[in-house]
Every structure is written in C-alpha cells, then in structure tokens.
Amino acid sequence: MAEAVGAVPVAESKGPGLFSRLAGVLFSPKATYAAVVARPRALGALLVTIVIMSAAQGLFFATPVGQEVLIDQQVRAMEAFGVNITDEMYAQLESRVAYAPYTTAGSLLVFFPLFYAIIAGIVLAIFGMLMGGTGTFKQVFAILAHAGVITALQTLFAMPLSYATQRLAGATLDVFVPGVEETSFLARFLGGIDLFWMWWCVSIAIGVGVLFKRRTGGIAMTFLSIYVVVVLAYALIRAGS
C-alpha cells in the first residue's frame, strides 16, 4: 500500500529530561529507572550530584565551625591508628583546612565516578555473568549516577545539622541512644547506619531489578545486608582500636 501523501513522520521520544529523571528517582523510581535503562545517560546526573554536594560541603567547611569539625575528625582518625598528634602536626592540619572548600569539589569529582564504576562492575559481574542477566556497564552506571540525587539530599540535610551540633552529623540511628558513650561499639555502629544510605540501597535495588528483570525485595535485602555488615565491621575495628 502506498504511503499516505503528506504523512508526517513521528519523532522518536527522547524520554524524560534530566531534572524530571532526578525527581523521578525520589518519587517514582521504578518508572524512572525504566527510562534510564532504555536511554542510559549518566553525565548530567553525576554533575548535578557533585555540584550540589560540593556547594553544600564547601559552604560548611568555609565556616570556622566547619573547619574546627574537620580538624577534629582528622585528629580522631589519626589517633585511632595510634598516631600521636604533636603541636606541629596540629598546626599543619589548621593550615590545610583553609583549602577544604576548594579541595572538596576535586575529591568528589574523583571519588564518585570511581565509586560508581567499582559498584557497577560488581553488580554487573553478579547479575550479568553469574546469574545470566542481560545488562551493560553503561546501564548500571547510569542507575548509580541517578541514585546519586539521594546522596545529594543527604548532604543538604547533614551540613546544616553538622553546623548546629558542631560535629559531623546525619540521619543516623545513634540519635536514639543519646546517653551512650560515642566511642562505644553501639554508638559507632548505630552512628554508621544512615537512613539516606539505606534509601540509596533500596533505590539502587529498584534500578537493578528493573534492568535485570528481578524482584526488588530480595535485591534490596542483599544490598542492605551488605551495608550493615560493612558498618558492623567498621564499628568492631574502631571499638577494638
């Protein structure tokens, strides 16, 4: 049959825009990840996440409170490994912390793509190679990049709270045990369980389930279990140091 005269070709849909996808991760993740899997694009989502986190952390570390909190965190970390902090070392920390607002963006720019690449490789190895799923590294990486909007929200929540409490804070479970010594195992363990990171694990599970056509529940439980085990191991190490 001959084509109709004057027929207008229908343009292929490009799917939702960047900010629609980022909002969709928060409010309608399953449909959003289906769109991400169909057209995997990671750069825009990755940049938005890094810009938001860099701005929030940079503003916090530009304040005297933020710089004092950062120095205190570095001192505690060094002392946990048995390092004796001398006056000269403390002075060096004070001189370096002034650059924290500027080095934050650079560290995030390196950390997040590397972190997502490692996680994407692990997910692809498990669900692709071992379990016979059909998916690509690009698709998994795009899922992780879009889920980064949750970590951006976590930073926007944590930085004002850290300023108010004058210590690095977040939506962690240690708030339910205010009387427990903060260096104890229980405080370290509950302090490592952040509700935003749990949300991130569930969100990633939804995306992986959409990509590999598997039930979200089992994947989410696996991711959350791994997260809890990592926090538990860290708390045990710190408690024993």
Q: What is 161-211 written as a DSSP string?
A: HHHHHTS---SBGGGG-TTS-TTSHHHHHHHH-BHHHHHHHHHHHHHHHHH
- The rounded mean pLDDT for the chain is 88
How many whole angstroms separate alpha carbon 174 and alpha carbon 167? 13
Chain segment 131-142, per-residue pLDDT in tens: 877 889 999 999
Name the residue among 91, 95, 137 with its Cα closest to residue 116: 137
Which regions in the chain score pLDDT beneath 70? 1-13, 80-81, 239-241
Q: Specify the pLDDT at position 79.
A: 73
How many whole angstroms separate alpha carbon 129 and alpha carbon 133? 7
Q: Specify the pLDDT at position 77.
A: 75
How many whole angstroms separate alpha carbon 139 and alpha carbon 215? 18
Q: Specify the pLDDT at position 241.
A: 59
Q: Specify the pLDDT at position 99.
A: 86
Contacts with 93 (C-beta within 8 Å, 6 or more apart), sequence order: 71, 74, 75
H helices present in 62-99, as ranges = 64-80, 87-97
Chain segment 174-216, per-residue pLDDT in tens: 888 877 787 788 888 988 999 999 999 999 999 999 999 999 9
